[in-house]
């Protein structure tokens, strides 16, 4: 127990240590997080009236970001599957970064859901009367929290073992890794079911949403990881081989193609049938009765996704520069398409045919940015701490021997740059 | 950061001679950073200081049970608290009761499209009766002005505002909660804050709702309203006859909806929207009673169920007159209420 407390304390101290770039980055993230917290406190005082949501469009940016981030959490599964299922060892040393990403992203998801609640003070009502298995939202609560715990356990165990200087025992984590793979797929499926099960919203009421979720998640997630790994190898001494990045490139490539194909299926079904149900899709792609707010967004997204797919198909994208461009295009493209492009149009027109557009407010945007900054902050800390620990540079034994040399090191001086 | 990862065994010893010096400097730097951080956090949460005292849940509110789990004594306590709160806030004496669903009763609502003139008196009577927020304006009933020749709600005008109604080229379709027999809103609620009563009315425990608005997304009739901020009802306009499950004042951050005025209908009165209707377009009653007006209409009239295809089996329906419609004769004293 004392050892574990020491471990947590060391992790805490490590997260404050770094060069000026690290401190600058962390300061910026902290400031943005606090600005978001400020906006959220306003929301707590005045209610959700501080957002752009209305009775007509009752879900907005919070749920859009939540949906996208559930997808991003898939990144972990996409790293784990090649290693543990196909024994592709290129990715072995970087799996942990995917899982740490999953942890931070799921925490962001939970924060977005909390931000969206009108009465966050009653959150514990979920514990007293849990409408399981009827409400899909209760499934999502289980899926997300379960996934969080699984990944926390896997990462925590591996990192703690490294800290203690012992070899991790496969019994304690490999079964969880396999459960986490299935679980990763389930968090998307369940989140998709949240929307597709509603007969009153024809835009969502389509079986293709869940597969599209998975495809876009398996593109955006690994794309994000490709960029992250490059940052990790730039700023730490952890080696990441290009082979790992190229394996991920293949995953993004295939997922992107499937995503585009499913999108085409969806668009064809809607517009060729051209029934009354096409109203929301028409609003999204072409505008309805002169209301066109989302049109530029969705075409930007489609343009980005197409460009990313083409780039990924070119052999030239084995070069990192082009690959990075393709990754950024798919991350942003999918964020628009799966976030605002999936959530908002389902509310326009309303079930009574009213067309009210949704325009996020500054408050709402600040809260979103705050949660993103907080997520990045968490992820940065996780990576910052795990790299030296996994490399065996920070262990319990070293810590013990140091303490005997100089007890004043508790101030953190031991880990400082000098 | 790259350097920071150096093994510390080498990093620790050179510190020795300068330790004291460093410690003071480090102490001041860290102290300053901590103070700056703490004040930044304080500034970030500053808006919380302006929160309305009434918005902070008391211990009693916080620990309050779900309506269905409350014992008779729990209810007495909770109701007394709510009464006190409303009286304090609005300065009026109120009665807060909890009439149970009547045995052998299933309520059904019929609306005569041939007669409705789109005057929206029902909308405003409902607002008054149910203590709906005047600012921001919340209304349970939405009257659609429809183009003749189509029943597609997408071609409807929600905000028609002519000098006089009815417009001879239009017809009117008021929409409110359809009190579905298979309510999707109830299905999706993660905390069972909304449920269907034995008499068919879907109600909300406003003290249990967490404000996720999933029910609003699920409703095919756009019947649910959310309190995006504190609902405002002027003191003089409070309707003091309240029940726990219907028209008592709501709080910010919770959902609300039409309850067929259960504070009236469960004690033998008609819903406010029906009572005020000048054309007799609204019919309400117990469908299980074969002698009721609604049972008669369902047996004999041409009935239309809005969005029947979504399969929620509404208890609200529209019907048409063969004779006596406003489209054939002027609305006059001799034929109001003639048909049904």
Our CA dihedral for A395, A400, A404, A405, rounded to 10 degrees, sits at -10
Phi (first) and psi of residue A96, to 5 degrees: -60, -35
What are the pLDDT digits (tens) for B296-337? Answer: 999 999 999 999 999 999 999 999 987 766 665 554 444 444
Q: How far apart are CA A108 and CA A217, in angstroms?
A: 16
pTM: 0.91
Q: Which residue has the tokens 């804050």?
A: B193
Q: How far apart are CA A73 and CA A221, in angstroms?
A: 7
Question: Closest Cα of chain A to B291: distance in Å?
Answer: 33
B319 and B284 in contact (C-beta within 8 Å)?
Answer: no
A41 and B44 in contact (C-beta within 8 Å)?
Answer: yes
Our CA dihedral for A393, A394, A395, A400, rounded to 10 degrees, sits at 120
What are the pLDDT digits (tens) for B90-144? Answer: 999 999 999 999 999 999 999 999 999 999 999 999 999 999 999 999 999 999 9
CB contact under 8 A, B153 and A352: yes
Q: What is the largest CA-CA distance in chain A?
A: 78
Smallest Cβ–Cβ distance between B4 and the set A17, A198, A401 belongs to A17
Sequence ranges of the domains in chain A: 2-400
Phi (first) and psi of residue A85, to 5 degrees: -95, -45
pLDDT at position B19: 54
- CA A179-A255-A83 angle, 5° bins: 40
Superfamily of domain A2-400 in the CATH hierarchy: Formate dehydrogenase/DMSO reductase domain (1.20.1630.10)
CB atoms within 10 A of CB A149: 16
SS3 at position A372: helix
User: CA separation (Å) from B157 to A6, A54, A369?
Assistant: 67, 19, 38
Phi (first) and psi of residue A4, to 5 degrees: -70, -40
Q: How far apart are CA B180 and CA B275, in angstroms?
A: 23
Whether chain B has a CB inside 8 Å of the CB on A41: the answer is yes
Tens digit of each residue's pLDDT, chain A (418 residues): 788 899 999 899 889 888 899 999 999 999 999 999 999 999 999 999 999 999 999 999 999 999 999 999 877 777 888 888 888 888 888 889 999 999 999 999 999 999 999 999 999 999 999 999 999 999 999 999 999 999 999 999 999 999 999 999 999 989 999 999 999 999 999 999 999 999 999 999 999 999 998 999 999 999 999 999 999 888 888 888 899 999 999 999 999 999 999 999 999 999 999 988 899 999 999 999 999 999 999 999 999 999 999 999 999 999 999 999 999 999 999 999 988 899 999 999 999 999 999 999 999 999 999 999 999 999 999 999 999 998 888 888 888 887 655 444 444 443 443 3
| Residue that wins the pLDDT comparison between B176 and A413 | B176
Smallest Cβ–Cβ distance between A18 and the set B1, B9, B155 belongs to B1
Chain A, 218-247: which have a CB under 8 Å from a chain B CB?
235-237
Q: How far apart are CA A250 and CA A171, in angstroms?
A: 31
Q: Which residue of B has its CA nearest to A130?
A: B191
B200 and B107 in contact (C-beta within 8 Å)?
Answer: yes
Q: How far apart are CA A306 and CA A326, in angstroms?
A: 10
pLDDT at position B20: 57
| Residue that wins the pLDDT comparison between A238 and B185 | B185
Pairing state of beta strands B225-226 and B241-243? unpaired
**Mean pLDDT across chain B:** 89
Question: Out of A108-117, A229-238, B60-69, B209-218, which region has the weakest mean confidence (pLDDT)?
Answer: A229-238
In order of start, what are the domains of chain B with their CATH numbers? 118-264 (3.30.70.20)
CB contact under 8 A, B5 and A393: yes
pLDDT at position B5: 42
Segment B149-159 shows an average pLDDT of: 93
Locate all alpha helices (DSSP H) within A117-208, ordered by sequence. Answer: 125-128, 136-164, 170-196
pLDDT at position B123: 98
Spell out the residues 6+ positions from residue A56 whose beta carbon is closer than 8 angstroms to its own.
Answer: A347, A348, A350, A354, A356, B222
Best CA proximity match to A338, nearest among A63, A21, A44: A63
Spell out the residues 6+ positions from residue A27 whose beta carbon is closer than 8 angstroms to its own.
Answer: none
Best CA proximity match to B185, nearest among B209, B159, B158, B152: B209
What are the pLDDT digits (tens) for B225-279? Answer: 999 999 999 999 999 999 999 999 999 999 999 999 999 999 999 999 999 999 9
Cα dihedral sign for A399, A404, A410, A414? negative
Whether chain B has a CB inside 8 Å of the CB on A98: the answer is no
ipTM score for this prediction: 0.92
Q: How far apart are CA B3 and CA A100, in angstroms?
A: 23
């Amino acid at each position: 127990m004392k050892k574990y407390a020491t471990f947590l304390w060391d992790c805490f101290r490590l997260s404050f240590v770094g060069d000026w770039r690290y401190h600058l980055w962390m300061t910026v993230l902290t400031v943005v997080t606090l600005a978001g917290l400020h906006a959220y406190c306003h929301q707590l005082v005045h209610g959700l009236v501080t957002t752009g949501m209305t009775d007509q469009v009752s879900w907005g940016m919070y749920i859009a970001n939540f949906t996208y981030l559930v997808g991003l959490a898939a990144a972990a599964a996409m790293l784990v599957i090649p290693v543990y299922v196909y024994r592709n060892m290129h990715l072995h040393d970087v799996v942990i970064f995917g899982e740490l990403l999953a942890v931070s992203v799921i925490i962001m998801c939970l924060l977005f859901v909390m931000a969206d609640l009108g009465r966050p003070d009653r959150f514990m009502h979920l514990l007293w009367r849990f409408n399981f298995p009827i409400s899909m939202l209760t499934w999502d609560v289980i899926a997300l929290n379960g996934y969080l715990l699984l990944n926390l356990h896997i990462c925590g165990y591996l990192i703690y073992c490294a800290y203690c200087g012992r070899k991790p025992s496969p019994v304690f984590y490999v079964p969880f890794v396999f459960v986490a793979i299935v679980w990763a797929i389930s968090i998307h499926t369940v989140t998709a079911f949240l929307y597709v099960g509603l007969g009153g919203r024809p835009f969502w009421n389509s079986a293709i949403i869940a597969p599209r979720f998975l495809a876009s998640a398996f593109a955006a997630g690994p794309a994000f990881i490709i960029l992250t790994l490059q940052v990790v190898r730039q700023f730490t001494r952890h080696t990441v081989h290009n082979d790992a990045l190229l394996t991920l490139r293949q995953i993004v490539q295939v997922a992107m193609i499937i995503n585009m194909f499913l999108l085409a299926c969806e668009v064809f079904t809607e517009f060729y049938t051209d029934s009354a149900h096409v109203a929301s899709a028409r609003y999204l792609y072409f505008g309805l009765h002169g209301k066109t707010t989302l049109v530029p967004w969705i075409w930007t997204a489609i343009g980005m996704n197409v460009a990313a797919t083409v780039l990924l198909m070119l052999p030239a994208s084995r070069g990192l520069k082009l690959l990075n461009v393709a990754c950024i295009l798919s991350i942003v493209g999918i964020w628009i398409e799966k976030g605002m492009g999936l959530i908002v149009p389902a509310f326009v027109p309303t079930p009574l045919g009213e067309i009210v557009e949704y325009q996020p407010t500054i408050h709402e945007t600040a809260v979103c940015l705050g949660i993103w900054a907080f997520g990045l902050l968490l992820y940065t800390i996780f990576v910052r701490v795990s790299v030296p620990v996994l490399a065996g540079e920070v262990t319990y034994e070293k810590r013990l021997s140091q303490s005997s040399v100089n007890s004043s090191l508790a101030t953190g001086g031991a880990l400082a740059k000098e | 950061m790259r350097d920071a990862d150096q093994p510390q065994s080498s990093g620790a010893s050179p510190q020795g001679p300068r330790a004291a010096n460093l410690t003071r400097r480090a102490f001041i730097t860290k102290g300053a950073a901590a103070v700056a951080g703490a004040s930044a956090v304080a500034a970030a949460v500053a808006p919380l200081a302006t929160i309305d005292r009434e918005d902070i849940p008391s211990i009693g509110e916080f620990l309050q049970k779900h309506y269905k789990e409350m014992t008779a004594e729990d209810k007495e306590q909770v109701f007394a608290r709510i009464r006190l709160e409303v009286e304090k806030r609005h300065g009026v004496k109120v009665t807060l009761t909890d009439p149970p669903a009547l045995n052998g009763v299933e309520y059904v609502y019929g609306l005569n499209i041939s007669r409705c003139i789109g005057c929206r008196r029902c909308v405003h009577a409902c607002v008054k009766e149910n203590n709906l927020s005047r600012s921001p304006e919340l209304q349970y009933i939405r009257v659609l002005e429809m183009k003749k020749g189509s029943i597609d709600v997408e071609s409807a005008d929600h905000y028609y505002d002519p000098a006089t109604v009815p417009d001879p080229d239009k017809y009117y379709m008021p929409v409110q909660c359809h009190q579905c027999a298979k309510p999707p809103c109830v299905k999706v609620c993660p905390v069972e804050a909304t449920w269907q009563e034995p008499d068919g009315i879907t109600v909300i425990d406003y003290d249990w709702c967490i404000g996720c608005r999933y029910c609003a997304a699920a409703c095919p009739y756009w019947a649910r309203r959310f309190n995006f901020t504190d609902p405002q009802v002027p003191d003089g306009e409070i309707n003091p006859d309240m029940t726990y499950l219907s028209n008592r004042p709501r709080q910010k951050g919770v959902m609300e909806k039409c309850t067929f005025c259960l504070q009236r209908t469960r004690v033998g009165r008609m819903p406010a929207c029906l009572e005020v209707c000048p054309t007799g377009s609204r019919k309400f009653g117990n469908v299980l009673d074969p002698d009721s007006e609604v049972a008669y209409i369902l047996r004999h009239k041409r009935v239309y169920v809005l969005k029947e295809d979504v399969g929620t089996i509404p208890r609200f329906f529209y019907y048409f007159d063969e004779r006596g419609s406003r489209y054939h004769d002027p609305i006059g004293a001799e034929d109001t209420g003639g048909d049904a």
